[in-house]
Structure 1
Amino acid sequence: MSQIPTLDIRRFDTDRDAFVAELGAAYREWGFAGIRGHGIGSDQIDASYNVFKRFFELPEEIKGKYHVPGGGGARGYTPFGIETAKGAQYSDLKEFWHVGREIPRDSVYADVMPPNLWPEEIPEFRSLAYGLYQSLDELGSRVLSALALHIGLPESYFADKTDFGNSILRPIHYPPITTDDIPNVRAGAHEDINLITLLVGASAAGLEVRSRKGDWVPFTADADTIVVNIGDMLQRLTNHAYPSTTHRVVNPKGEKARQPRYSTPFFLHPNPDFLIDVLPSTISADNPNRYPEAITAQGYLEERLREIKLK
C-alpha cells in the first residue's frame, strides 16, 4: 500500500470477508484507515462543530469555570499549555473539552468515570455533543467487530468489554498561529492511548502519519470520511499485530496558519476493569509475547496520563 486507504464500511454487511481482509491489511500496514459510508450525517457533524466553536469563542474566564484542577482533564475544559506529547519539550497548541460516557452514579465505575460537565452558556451543547458521542461509539463498535474477525475472534468479542468503556469525545480548538518562529506544533508526534480513535474533521490539512519507513505522510481525508486509527491498548492486546502509529498535527504554512483549526477525535476505551492481556492467537515463534504482564485499562490509562502531563 503506497497510501493510507479509505474503505466503505457498508461493505461489512454486503461483502464481509473482503472488507475484513482489506481493513485488517490497512491496519497492519498503517495503523490508520479512512472510513466512509458510516451513516453519521453531515448535518449532525456540522451542528456539533457549531456549538464546539461557540464554546471556544467564549471569554477565557467563562471557559475557565469548567476546568477541573487535578482532574486529569477527564471532563470539561482543558486550557492551552497543559497537554504535552510524551517526550516533547513544548506543550501542544490547543485547548479542548472532554465528554465522557453517561453512567449511573451508583455504577461500579463511578469512581473513575466522573459525571459530565456542560456549559450552561450553550444549552444545546449537551444534546449535540452526546449525540455525536453515541454515534461514534456505535461506529467504533462496528470497526472493532471487523477487526475481531480479522484476527480470528468472534465478531462480538469486544461487545461486553467496551459497553461501559471509559471513552472520550474531545472537541479541539487549535488557534491561529500569529508568529513564524513559534517552536511548538499544534499536536506533537504521539500515539493514542486507547483501543481505536475515530477522528471527525480530518478534512482540514495538518494530520501527518509516520510510515514504516519513517516518512511523514499527510492524510487529509474527504469531508465524508472519518479517520480511524489504532491506539496503544489495541497494539498491546494484539502483540503489535496492529501497530499504534505515530502521528502529529503540523502547523500550516502562510495564510492558512492564520486560521483556527477544529477537530473532534473520539477515543474508544475498554471498560476500566478490562485486563489488557496479549491475545494467545497473536503470539508466535516470530512474534513472542511482548507484554508478559497484564494491566487493567484504568491502570494503563493513568500511567499514560501522567506521561502527557494531564495528571
Structure 2
Amino acid sequence: MLLDEIPSLDLADFRSTDPARKANFVQDLGHAFNTIGFVAIKGHGLSEPFTNSLYQQVETFFKSADEVKKPYEIAGISGQRGYVGKGKETAKGFNVPDLKEFYHVGQPFKEDGDSVWDEYPSNVFPNEFPEFEKYTVEAFQTLESAGKSLLQAIALYLELPEDYFEPRVVNGNSILRAIHYFPIENPDALPVGAVRAAAHGDINLITLLMGASAEGLEVLRMDGKWIAITALPDQLVVNVGDMLDRLT
C-alpha cells in the first residue's frame, strides 16, 4: 500500500532496554523505507532550546553582508567545508543553479591517529560569530549519533549484524548542511527554470533533515506522485540514499 504521509517513529523506542519496543521500531522503520523511503523521527537528542539557539546562530550568519560571508567560501575544496554562495549548486540533470546558499560543517578533528584526517578538509568557522562553531559542531555530533542508531536498526531489519555499518561510518565524511533560501527581490529577473531546490536523489547512506522554517519539501512516491512532507518541530525527516542501496 502506498502512503500519503510519512510514518512517525520515536528513536527512544530503539534505544530502550525493552526488546519488544526495539523490535517494533526496527520493523516499522524498515516498512517505512520499503514503502516510501522516508520517516519522521523524534527522540533524536536535539532539544528545542538547543535547536532554537542553533537556528539563531545560522540565521545571523546568513543575514550578514556578502562581504562578511565571502571569506568563508574556500577555493579548491568544492564546497566541502565552509560557506557556499548563492547560485553555486546545480542539481544533477538541471542547467540552472538552485536559489539558495549554504554552510558545510564536517567531522570534527580527533587526535586518534586515523589516516582519514589527511584526506578531509579542515572545518572553517566565521570569526564574527563565536558561538557558531559550538552549536554547529554539537548538532553534527548529535545527528551523527542518531544516524548511527538508525543504521543499527536498518541492519537488524535486513537481518545483518547490528554493528554491520559501524566500520563504514567511523570518522565518516558526513556533512552538516545549513541551508538558507534567501528572499527573492526581483522574481522577473530569475533565470527560466530556477527553483529553490530541484528534484534530486541522495547519494548518502541516510540523510537527516531538521525541521525547516517554511513548507516546501516534497517526496516522490513509487507511483510517480509527489506528496508534501510536513514534520513537527521536534522531528527529523530521514531518508535512505544510494550508498545504502549499494552496500546492501
Q: What's the TM-score, normalizing by structure 1?
A: 0.73
Deviations 1:25-84 (A, max 9, x none): 100111110001223201111111100011111111111101112211011110011111
Deviations 1:56-115 (A, max 9, x none): 111111111011122110111100111110011211111111101122476411232111
Show the 5 A alignment for 1:31-110: 31-104=37-110, 107-110=114-117
How far, CA to CA, are the matches of 1:61 and 1:178 in structure 2?
19
Distance 1:212 1:203, change over 3 A: farther
Match of 2:220 among 210, 232, 248: 210
CA drift of 1:202 comes to 3.7
Q: Does residue 124 of structure 1 match 2:122?
A: no
Give the equivalent residue in structure 2 for 1:170.
Answer: 177
Amino acid at match of 1:23: L
CA drift of 1:177 comes to 2.6
Secondary structure (helix, strand or coil) at the match of 1:190 reads coil
Match of 1:111 among 98, 109, 118: 118
Gaps of at least 5 residues in structure 2 are none
Secondary structure (helix, strand or coil) at the match of 1:99 reads strand
Equivalent pair of 2:220/2:227 in contact (CA under 8 Å): yes
Deviations 1:133-177 (A, max 9, x none): 110000001100100000011111122221110010011100123
Could you list the structure 1 runs, at least 4 aligned residues long, displaced by more than 2 angstroms after superposition: 103-107, 177-183
Give the equivalent residue in structure 2 for 1:11.
Answer: 13
Equivalent pair of 1:204/1:220 in contact (CA under 8 Å): no
Amino acid at match of 1:115: S
Richer in helix (by share): 2
Show the 5 A alignment for 1:283-298: none
How far, CA to CA, are the matches of 2:246 and 2:194 in structure 1?
30
Q: Does residue 156 of structure 1 match 2:163?
A: yes
Mean CA deviation greater in 63-72 or 117-126? 63-72
Amino acid at match of 1:150: Y
Matched pairs, number: 238
CA RMSD of aligned residues (A): 1.5
Amino acid at match of 2:218: E
Distance 1:76 1:91, change over 3 A: same
CA drift of 1:180 comes to 4.7
Give the equivalent residue in structure 2 for 1:187.
Answer: 197
Amino acid at match of 1:137: E
Give the equivalent residue in structure 2 for 1:28.
Answer: 34
CA drift of 1:205 comes to 0.5
How far, CA to CA, are the matches of 1:137 and 1:171 in structure 2?
15
How far, CA to CA, are the matches of 2:35 and 2:213 in structure 1?
22
Secondary structure (helix, strand or coil) at the match of 1:146 reads helix
Q: Does residue 142 of structure 1 match 2:144?
A: no
Amino acid at match of 1:59: A
Show the 5 A alignment for 1:206-245: 206-238=216-248
How far, CA to CA, are the matches of 1:141 and 1:153 in structure 2?
15
Equivalent pair of 2:211/2:232 in contact (CA under 8 Å): no
Deviations 1:239-296 (A, max 9, x none): xxxxxxxxxxxxxxxxxxxxxxxxxxxxxxxxxxxxxxxxxxxxxxxxxxxxxxxxxx
How far, CA to CA, are the matches of 1:104 and 1:17 in structure 2?
34
Amino acid at match of 2:180: H
Alignment identity in percent?
46
Equivalent pair of 1:207/1:220 in contact (CA under 8 Å): yes
Secondary structure (helix, strand or coil) at the match of 1:63 reads helix
